Amino acid sequence: MKYIPTIGIECHVQLCTKTKLFSEVDNDARGKEPNSCVSPVDYALPGMLPRLNGEAIKFAIRAGRAMNCEINASSRFDRKHYFYPDSPKGYQITQFYHPIIGEGYVELPSGTRVRIEHAHLEGDAGKLTHFKDYSLVDLNRVDTPLIEIVSMPDIHSAKDVHDYCKELWRLMCHAGVTNGDLYNGNMRFDVNISVAKEGAKELGTRAEIKNLNSFRSAERAAEFEIKRQTKLLEAGEKVKQETRGWDDTTGKTTAQRSKEEAKDYRYMPEPDIPPINLTSEFIDAEIAKLPLMPMDYRRKFNGVITDEILEVLLDYPSLMIKLNEIEDKHVKIISNLFTSVLLAEEKSAKYLNDLPDTRDLNELAEMNEKKELSSTATKEVFLRLFDPQMKGRGTKQIAKELGLIQENDLEALEKIVDIVLAKPETQKAQADFKAGEEKVIGFLVGQVMKESHGKANPSSVQEILRKKLK
Amino acid sequence: MKIANKKVTAERLVRDALEKAKHFEDYHIFTFLNEEGALKKAREIDKRIARGEKVGRLAGVPYALKDNFLSPEGETTASAHILQGFNSPVTATSVAKLEAEGAIMIGRTNLDAFAHGSSTENSYFGPTLNSHDKQRVAGGSSGGSAVAVALDIVEFATGTDTGGSVRQPASFNGIYGLKPTYGTISRYGVVAMASSTDCIGFFTKTPEDMDLLMSIASGQDPKDMTTLPDYYNTEASAESGDSRLAPSRPSSRGSGAHSAPVVAYGLESPNSCARVGIIKDFDNDSVHPEIRKALKNKVELLKSKGHEIVELEMPALKYGLAAYYILVPAELCSNLSRHDGVRYGFRSEKSKDLDALYENTRNEGFMPENKRRIMIGNFVLSSGFYDAYFLKAAKARTLIVKEYEKAFSKVDFILTPVSPNPAFKLGEKVDDPVAMYLEDVMSVSLNLAGVAGLAIPAGETKEGLPLGLQLVGPRRSDKRLIEFSKELI
């Protein structure tokens, strides 16, 4: 008997707004002292009131659209109550009853569609660090805006768990709503898994694996959990509805909290924030700011760029936006340069936010095509285009300064060839070639290249040499 | 109100106020006296006056601050043990506006802890005594503020009104008390009770003073998303005869058939006649006979001045108290969640772990009435009960909003008692929470509807206890309401 897994995923995305969701404090606490990005509102002094960040609303519209979702013209905030030191107010402000983002779908590279049930805005919690007999509270992360994306149970394999998580990450990065730094928890995944016999009418009992912070651990956790549940069912046992944690080192999930222990969050409409009513003009203006999404690029560059290269480049939204501006005939060479040269560079991460002018890249491709630049010279000039010292001088100027432009003027080349052929040290090679020793042509070409300080186009040189030594 | 000038210094005004505050110490009005701070500010104002510099509209005016307003002067305790030791780094928007005009806070006043109560007996610091009879309650929750003004210690005092907490103590002490339209004055920096009904208000001795304070403290505040766009001072310009800015009538949505065209009682023509509604349902034996008599007297007075009296039936108001005591506990239990002993205020030190810290801190830090309301609130929000209680109460609230809209399509104002009885004896209702809640039966529906209500003095009982009535106006009618109250003097 075959068992089929059914999987739904909840994903929390931290938005990279300038300020927090409900206060004017800096939302970017990277490298800052604990509790230094906290306003009296975040700290929940008595009498403090949330002040909704309009930028977060705009980000939500863009994120929603990126997932082909309805944007609800009217939405509201609610309070979700629980006591814990990471929640200074004693409740989280979220959207329980009327979320801003409605139904939609995410299309995986394989073509599989995963439907989105809804997505909503909410504030993040603070961070606790536990020690032997005390714990420390850092509220820097309190009320960093989050979008929680809830998928329908449309996933049926661990691989699709990976692909869905990755595609969501790409969509959010392309929509420009998150820094997408998984290592620092910018996106966190909760995976709900149940297993049932093939053809069964009802789904099995599900377990939720919380707080996975990479595609790989989401995939591995799903794989483990599918096996665990299948084994239980095969042995005639029952799966318990519970929350489980994932341990990346042991590669196992372990029970954390059962359904009976689940909290009652006592949801209530947030009375301090009036309902959000968006006009269609406002929504459209925000959607208009969206660049192309991964699926658009796949369709557009199908047959131009190989799938391997495209899937690599799709991880870098700024490169895709740039590539989209490049002249069609140059897309192939520029995409190759992006993957084989730029991304191979150690400094590439630094360069990604400050790309060269599209005009310079087009010109580079043009020069390469006209053979004004050898392929080695093309790579060298390409990298210089990113160099803050060289930038803005223009491709031609840089190539000239580096002396990398190839000599294609046949008359000039002939003169250089003549000089080389007149030299005593080439006489033996000339004789050998004439005697039928084909490979000495390489030596002669090398001599000409040397004489031309590397500017000569080697294939032209060879042509001239062959003519002269006939 | 007396404002400092070259002859009467701010220091003199403040010293007098502080002296009186000390003289009436046995009334338990203040939780904190701001002697040093107030005198320092007074001297600064005097210096500016001496130099001929411009000073504010409240220059040197001593006032009392209900102890649930945040400011760095003195601890903000809300008369609750759990907030003891809390020194606010923030100043409430309303306080900042008053102080910018030169008002000087001479002390923080007593209240029912977290404003939960109608007698100030729920204060951690003990009850405030009635200004006219020390055996009786001051009313509440803003009892300290009301008595401070009634005993003439200060020119005015701030209050908060979530279900009658300004109007009822005002009427128990024979002064004016305003609950403005919801959203007129910023709630930023005021310890929240129930966010959707909390209103900042004032106690004064005259309607003129009330008008001045409203023109200063009202207005939209970016820090409070529920504040209304400025309207109070826009209406003021209508006084100068600009008809385009004249106050518009409230919408008569859903009552088209009933609404005879009524000429609004407007500020542009103060001599015009008003239609004043009285509510039949409130005229029964459960209301103290002397209050019913006071109402009749005022009705006769209005008639004699040419105003029209209209009898109203407002059956939906009977759901007010029940809806109020579901919605308000729900919101307040949520708002009180932040008091966990982790970041500020009182913390029970004997706790071994986190759960014990929460339990002990909240158990020792809250008053019995706080706990009662927290329990009710959590109950009505619990999964499985939300629809039956919270949602149903929210629907009743909508009925009440519509009931007022309908009424205000027929009348300009409504005149009713504030509470069924004058000030009761200390301890009389402490052990009977429902009897205490019933004191709010006529005041809470205004908060649920968000409309404006002004408590006005209406004589005294034979024993010399003050009687009060409330004049109710539609949303955003506050300016007209205060103006019209002069007709009742």
pLDDT tops 70 at residue B270: no
**What are the Cα distances from residue A44, in Å, to A138, B202, B340, B382?**
14, 26, 11, 23
Same domain, A130 and A200: yes
pLDDT tops 80 at residue B260: no
Contacts 24+ apart (CB under 8 A), A442-446: A444/A420
Percent of chain A exceeding pLDDT 70 equals 100
Q: Is A263 left (phi over 0), alpha (psi -120 to 50) or beta?
A: beta
In this prediction, residue B239 carries a pLDDT of 37
Q: What is the mean pLDDT of chain B?
A: 92
Assign residue B33 the CATH number of its domain: 3.90.1300.10
Residue A351 tokens, joined: 């360069």
Same domain, A368 and A419: no
With contact defined as beta carbons under 8 Å apart, do B21 and B62 qualify?
no
In this prediction, residue A61 carries a pLDDT of 98
pLDDT in tens, chain A (470 residues): 799 999 999 999 999 999 999 999 999 999 999 999 999 999 999 999 999 999 999 999 999 999 999 999 999 999 999 999 999 999 999 999 999 999 999 999 999 999 999 999 999 999 999 999 899 999 999 999 999 999 999 999 999 999 999 999 999 999 999 999 999 999 999 999 999 999 999 999 999 999 999 999 999 999 999 999 999 999 999 999 999 999 999 999 999 988 777 789 999 999 999 999 999 999 999 999 999 999 999 999 999 999 999 999 999 999 999 999 999 999 999 999 999 999 988 888 888 888 999 999 999 999 999 888 888 889 999 999 998 888 778 899 898 888 888 777 778 888 888 999 999 988 998 889 888 888 888 899 888 888 888 778 888 888 888 888 88
Query: Of B257, B179, B204, which is closest to residue B449 (Cα–Cα)?
Result: B179
The whole-angstrom separation of Cα B126 and Cα B29 is 10
Same domain, A265 and A349: no
In this prediction, residue A453 carries a pLDDT of 80
Task: Determine the distance in angstroms separating the CA of A94 from the nearest CA of chain B, rounded to an integer.
Answer: 14
How much is the average pLDDT of B373-397? Answer: 96
Asked whether residue A145 is domain-assigned, the answer is: yes
Residue B127 tokens, joined: 């009850």
Opening angle at CA B226, ends B220 and B227, nearest 5 = 20
A47 → closest Cβ in B190, B222, B354: B190
Q: Is B10 left (phi over 0), alpha (psi -120 to 50) or beta?
A: alpha
End-to-end CA distance of chain A: 78
User: Who's near B25: CB < 8 A, 6+ residues apart?
Assistant: none
* Burial (Cβ within 10 Å: 0-12, 13-18, ≥19) of residue B372: middle
Same domain, A74 and A144: yes
On chain B, the residues whose CB falls within 8 A of the CB of A273 are 225
Q: Around A159, how many Cα atoms within 13 Å sit in the side-chain half-sphere? A: 4
In this prediction, residue A346 carries a pLDDT of 83
What is the three-class DSSP state of B16?
helix
Opening angle at CA A127, ends A123 and A130, nearest 5 = 155
Question: Locate tokens 């360069």: which residue?
Answer: A351
Same domain, A445 and A350: no
* Burial (Cβ within 10 Å: 0-12, 13-18, ≥19) of residue B152: middle
What is the three-class DSSP state of B487?
helix
In this prediction, residue B249 carries a pLDDT of 38
Query: Of B185, B332, B391, which is closest to residue A271 (Cα–Cα)?
Result: B332
Contact between chains at B330 and A274 (C-beta distance less than 8 A): no
Question: Locate tokens 């403005």: which residue?
Answer: B180
In this prediction, residue B282 carries a pLDDT of 85
End-to-end CA distance of chain B: 18
Asked whether residue A219 is domain-assigned, the answer is: yes
Sign of CA dihedral B64, B70, B74, B79: positive
**What are the Cα distances from residue B68, in Å, to A336, B84, B86, B88, B111?**
66, 12, 11, 11, 8
Same domain, A396 and A442: no
Amino acid occupying residue B158: T
User: Who's near B469: CB < 8 A, 6+ residues apart?
Assistant: B171, B291, B294, B295, B298, B415, B416, B417, B418, B455, B456, B458, B488
pLDDT tops 60 at residue B271: no
Same domain, A337 and A203: no
How many separate domains does chain B show? 1
Residue B134 tokens, joined: 């020390």
**What are the Cα distances from residue A437, in Å, to A101, A441, A449, A464?**
75, 8, 20, 17
B334 → closest Cβ in A40, A88, A268: A268
Asked whether residue A286 is domain-assigned, the answer is: no
pLDDT in tens, A225-236: 999 999 999 999
Tell me the sheet residues that pair with A130: A135
Same domain, A395 and A416: no
Complex prediction ipTM: 0.92
Same domain, A388 and A416: no
Same domain, A312 and A352: yes
- Strand order, beta sheet including A113-123: A104-107, A113-123, A145-151, A3-14, A187-197, A207-212, A242-247, A252-258
Query: Of B63, B47, B175, B203, which is closest to residue B468 (Cα–Cα)?
Result: B175
Q: Whole domain around residue A147: which residue ranges?
A: 3-277
Q: Whole domain around residue B378: which residue ranges?
A: 1-489
Asked whether residue A74 is domain-assigned, the answer is: yes
How many separate domains does chain A show? 3
Contact between chains at A264 and B382 (C-beta distance less than 8 A): yes
Asked whether residue A285 is domain-assigned, the answer is: no
Question: Locate tokens 């005294």: which residue?
Answer: B460
Same domain, A265 and A375: no
pTM of the model: 0.90
Residue A459 tokens, joined: 């294939």
Same domain, A414 and A376: no
Residues of B with a Cβ under 8 Å from any A Cβ are 68-70, 76, 78, 83, 86, 88-90, 92, 187-192, 194-196, 222-226, 330-331, 334, 336-340, 342-344, 354, 358, 378, 381-383, 386, 390
pLDDT tops 90 at residue B39: yes
On chain A, the residues whose CB falls within 8 A of the CB of B339 are 46
The whole-angstrom separation of Cα B106 and Cα B61 is 10
**What are the Cα distances from residue B277, in Å, to B7, B24, B234?**
46, 40, 26
H/E stretch holding B407 reads helix B392-407
Assign residue A450 the CATH number of its domain: 1.10.10.410
pLDDT in tens, A118-170: 999 999 999 999 999 899 999 999 999 999 999 999 999 999 999 999 999 99
Asked whether residue A283 is domain-assigned, the answer is: no
Q: Which residue of A has its CA nearest to B89?
A: A40
Q: Around B472, how many Cα atoms within 13 Å sit in the side-chain half-sphere? A: 23
